[in-house]
């Protein structure tokens, strides 16, 4: 079994390490806070914390280049890690900062020494922005990247049941933004994929050697066919980083819908791919 004094990756005991190594897991997100609910596609802090605690040690530094309302940064605080985020939408940046401050107030003195900063910027410029080097006088080197991209332009799909419900509530966003630089507004799949992969590949100089990058994503259905977004990201980004593995995130608390009932196969898709890359 793994000896604690030989564990170079994290602070976990051998039992917890082995449990995380299972290739699939069930995680049903807890109810979201009202402010975070505005964002149309937020992943849970509870899930993010498990990944952060596996791929880093206490006190290390995590980056989310598509930070949304700050799930990764809040999870990093809870895990005792420094964290930084980049978010294109100024409204979500503001909400994230508010939620981070609320989390700091809850956690108190034990997180006083930790950094948790998010800026309003376009992640495509991450290498040029060097947004987090003021105090250090040099660019930061990140120990881990955890993020989830837009699932192409699927938030524009008017037939989605969840989207219909959100349209009925004027306080909830249906799409991320109207910004033309928002990847979720690109309707041509190959262009979307190329620009997304370019952003992630551009982070390489900011990552320390052998740092991991986890991307949470799933394949998408549109116009009667499947676009293998997760697999395409794995293939294309595997030319920049080493694709090490995947974990399948399952949700078993979703209601089934009768898609194609009696005529065609259309699955209820309740899983995401957590792709693990390493900077080698």
Q: 265's torsion region: left (phi>0), alpha (psi -120 to 50) or beta? A: beta
DSSP class of residue 25? E
Q: Where are the domains of the chain?
A: 24-254
Instruction: Considering the domain delimited by 24-254, tell me its CATH architecture.
Output: 3-Layer(aba) Sandwich (3.40)
What is the reported pLDDT for 3? 54
**Mean pLDDT split into 10-residue runs, the chain, 280 residues:** 73 95 90 52 85 97 94 96 93 92 95 93 78 58 94 67 48 58 85 95 94 96 91 98 96 88 90 97
What is the reported pLDDT for 169? 46
Q: What token pair was written down for 61?
A: 């530094």
Q: pTM for the whole thing?
A: 0.87
What is the reported pLDDT for 184? 78
What is the reported pLDDT for 189? 94
Q: C-alpha angle 8/10/14, rounded to 5°?
A: 95
DSSP class of residue 124? G
CA atoms within 13 A on the CB side of 57: 8
């Amino acid at each position: 079994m793994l000896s604690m004094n030989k564990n170079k990756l994290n602070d976990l005991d051998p039992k917890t390490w082995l449990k995380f190594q299972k290739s699939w897991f069930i995680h049903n997100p807890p109810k979201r806070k009202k402010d975070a609910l505005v964002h149309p596609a937020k992943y849970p802090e509870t899930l993010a914390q498990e990944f952060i605690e596996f791929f880093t040690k206490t006190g290390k530094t995590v980056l989310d280049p598509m930070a949304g309302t700050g799930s990764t940064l809040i999870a990093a605080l809870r895990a005792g890690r420094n964290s930084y985020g980049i978010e294109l939408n100024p409204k979500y940046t503001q909400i994230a900062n508010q939620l981070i401050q609320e989390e700091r107030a809850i956690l108190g003195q034990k997180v006083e020494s930790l950094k948790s900063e998010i800026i309003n910027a376009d992640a495509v410029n991450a290498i040029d922005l060097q947004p987090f080097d003021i105090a250090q006088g040099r660019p930061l080197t990140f120990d881990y990247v955890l993020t989830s991209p837009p699932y192409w332009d699927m938030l524009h799909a008017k037939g989605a049941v969840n989207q219909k419900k959100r349209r009925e509530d004027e306080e909830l966003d249906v799409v991320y933004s109207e910004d033309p630089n928002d990847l979720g507004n690109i309707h041509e799949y190959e262009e979307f994929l190329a620009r997304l992969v370019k952003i992630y590949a551009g982070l390489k100089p900011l990552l320390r050697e052998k740092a991991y990058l986890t991307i949470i994503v799933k394949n998408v259905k549109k116009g009667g066919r499947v676009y293998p977004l997760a697999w395409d990201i794995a293939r294309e980004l595997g030319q920049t980083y080493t694709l090490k593995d995947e974990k399948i995130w399952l949700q078993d608390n979703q209601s089934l819908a009768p898609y194609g009932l009696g005529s065609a196969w259309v699955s209820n898709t309740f899983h995401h791919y957590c792709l693990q890359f390493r900077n080698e």
